[in-house]
A and B are shown apart, each in its own frame.
Chain A
Amino acid sequence: MEALLTASGSDYSQRMADTKDDPVADEQTLIRRAQRSDARAFEALYRLHVDKVYGLCLRMTGNVSEAEDCAQEAFILAWNKLDKFRGDSAFSTWLHRVAVNAVLGRIRKSKREQDRIQAVADTEPARTTAADTGEMRDLAEAVDRLPEGARHVFVLHAVYGYTHDEAAGMLGIATGTSKAQMHRARRLLAQQLEKQGFES
């Protein structure tokens, strides 16, 4: 990160020196520069947020290769729509919305694409649990096995803490549908996890 900023030019380095103790200010400066088509600033934003975006994509798709593609698409979409970001929400929240759109876009693209994703998911064990340990690994694997709609709502609502209204808005569904999918997710997870002694 520091190397990136230093390499961006002395003028920027000076500005960064003025705000080095304020990461939010750093981010806002990077956003403004990226909005002026500064690819190096955008790369710095990517380095700051890639783990958050990839994590969400991985939780939503349950598949490493799909998550990588979705994360890349999310950042490309973000670059193309960066001038629309007005700072009304945190940049990370805005990126999350873009990432959800990227995931849904790939899913909606065609039925064939869904079939392909499912085929990959069936043959390639998800490694979403690399960052999880112990009982969390069991839960993460159970979440990966949820049906798509239930998984998306569970990830956004239960894992990332979005309200049902927010999750529904991001997913393009009704709030009631989000609640119903959450109920379904709980029921299915209970069935899966009870076998593994989750409650003990």
Chain B
Amino acid sequence: MNFDDRLDQAARQLATEIPPERDLWPGIEQAIRTPRRRTPWLAQAAAVVLLVGASSGITYLAVKDDTGPVVAVQPELVFEKAAFGGDYHLGPGFQDARNSLRAQLDAEFASLSPKAQQDIQANLDLIHEAIVEINTALAQDPDNVLLQQQLLRAYREELALLRRVGGLTRNVMTRNDI
């Protein structure tokens, strides 16, 4: 028996049902019995538009001229603890493009100034939080077209940000080369 076969056999013998060391029900019960303070979805969508717009603006200012002043403005929005809605996956093509740009960003990130790095990461985090927020709203209202559009827009914003940063790093490298 070769290693892969032996590994497969062993993997199938690993325990798949494992009791937790403590009873998790009290926390679950508290969460499902407590009426959730719900923000109207329209307000959530509006907040997301503002959030993504602010993120894009800040990032544009951060990357349009790496040597210039950077406006550090953080929208002070508080997000509820939320999980990523599993029903709203990216398509494989979109995901591949995102992964490719993200890999490029990771590879070239070090060529940016520390301040630009910090701002770009902060804005990526903002977009990710917006995606989580929209997914939370979609979990409650899965057929809401406006929310679906906002989710797509947030994904596009992330893609656009990664592209802009990629262009910036290439410019920096070109100037250094010269």
Contacts and interface: CB of A to CB of B under 8 A. Distances in A.
Given A76-B31, A77-B139, A174-B96, A101 B83 contact: yes
Contacts of B128: 108-111
Contact of B8 (A47, A158, A172, A199): A158
Interface residues of B, number: 47
Given A42-B32, A55-B15, A161-B12, A73 B20 contact: no
- Which secondary structure characterizes the binding site on chain B? helix
Nearest to B124: A111
A140 interface: yes
Contacts, number: 148
B28 A190 contact: no
Interface stretch (B56-64, B86-94, B163-171): B86-94
Chain A interface residue number, banded: 35 or more
B123 to A, nearest CB: 12
A160 B131 CA distance: 29
Interface of A: 39, 42-43, 46-47, 50-52, 54-56, 58-59, 64, 67-68, 71-73, 75-77, 79-81, 84, 97-98, 100-102, 104-106, 108-112, 128, 130-132, 135-136, 139-140, 143, 154, 158-161, 169-170, 172-174, 186, 189-190, 193, 198-199
